[in-house]
């Protein structure tokens, strides 16, 4: 379980297909403090650590994860991730941690496309196009996780929705590198999904 509050920016330093895709990610997290089997959200995708180690020659520590074919197909991983790409990281919640964003599972629902990007003062306004089957779960002033970042939806028009990024968010995540046409991992708010399911059961 995660909160959508990014705590590090990792960099993919190796990719290898071993049946499943295996990735090595350079990180600011101390390798000694990462348990084998721990969950780390990588651009919003909950992945399991299978190895970790110290950096060589004074370089950053690293961890390795395995990504199933299903995760590659259902996320932006297969279309965006490559060696050198930077990704948002968040470690799993511990009991007593502050819940600063919203409850995020790390189970990506689909991929959204950045269709517009413009600066408004020091902030940046982004518009996205969601998959048809997920658009109904996105509501103005509701929460959404995009590339593992908890964000508030400003407006919704059909499949399109907008968010606003303040300078702090851009500086501590990879959002400052975003361009029109980019594909991002989208996880809808779990509460929205349950409300919709309840209405279906009630025939609403």
Burial of 120 (0-12, 13-18, 19+ CB in 10 A): exposed
pLDDT score recorded for residue 56:
85
pLDDT score recorded for residue 190:
77
Nearest to 152 by CA among 180, 123, 194: 123
Q: How far apart are CA 78 and CA 100, in angstroms?
A: 30
pLDDT score recorded for residue 104:
92
Domain that holds residue 60: 8-91
pLDDT score recorded for residue 101:
81
At 192, which CATH number?
Answer: 2.40.30.20
pLDDT score recorded for residue 1:
87
Where is the domain boundary, 63, 91, 119? Answer: 91
pLDDT score recorded for residue 175:
97
pLDDT score recorded for residue 49:
98
Inside any domain, residue 1 = no
Tell whether 127 and 190 lie within a shared domain.
Answer: yes
Provide the number of structural domains found in the chain. 2
pLDDT score recorded for residue 203:
66
Where is the domain boundary, 33, 64, 91? Answer: 91
Tell whether 197 and 114 lie within a shared domain.
Answer: yes
Burial 180-203 (b: 16+ CB within 10 A, else e): eebbbbbbbbbebeeeeeeeeeee
Which residues are paired to 183 by β-bridges? Answer: 113
pLDDT score recorded for residue 168:
96
Residues of the chain predicted below pLDDT 50: none
Q: Assign 3-state DSSP to the chain and report helix, strand, coil percentages, each to 5.
A: 20, 45, 35
Express each pLDDT in 129-168 by its tens digit. 999 999 999 999 999 999 999 999 999 999 999 999 999 9
Inside any domain, residue 40 = yes
Radius of gyration of the chain (CA): 17
């Amino acid at each position: 379980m995660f909160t959508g509050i990014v705590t590090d920016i990792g960099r993919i330093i190796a990719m290898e297909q071993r049946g499943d895709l295996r990735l090595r990610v350079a990180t600011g997290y101390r390798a000694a403090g990462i348990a084998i089997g721990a969950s780390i959200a990588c651009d919003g995708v909950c992945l399991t650590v299978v190895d970790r180690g110290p950096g060589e020659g004074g370089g950053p520590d690293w961890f390795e994860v395995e990504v199933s074919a299903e995760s590659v197909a259902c996320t932006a991983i297969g279309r965006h991730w490559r060696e050198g790409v930077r990704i948002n990281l968040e470690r799993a919640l511990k009991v007593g941690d502050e819940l600063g964003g919203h409850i995020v599972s790390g189970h990506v629902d689909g991929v959204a496309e950045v269709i517009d990007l413009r600066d408004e003062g020091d902030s940046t306004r982004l518009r996205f196009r969601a998959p048809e089957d997920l658009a109904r779960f996105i509501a103005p002033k509701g929460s959404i996780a995009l590339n593992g970042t908890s964000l508030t939806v400003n407006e919704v028009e059909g499949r399109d929705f907008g968010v606003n990024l303040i300078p702090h968010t851009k500086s501590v995540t990879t959002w400052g590198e975003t361009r029109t046409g980019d594909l991002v991992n989208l996880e809808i708010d779990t509460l929205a999904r349950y409300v919709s399911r309840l209405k279906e059961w009630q025939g609403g």
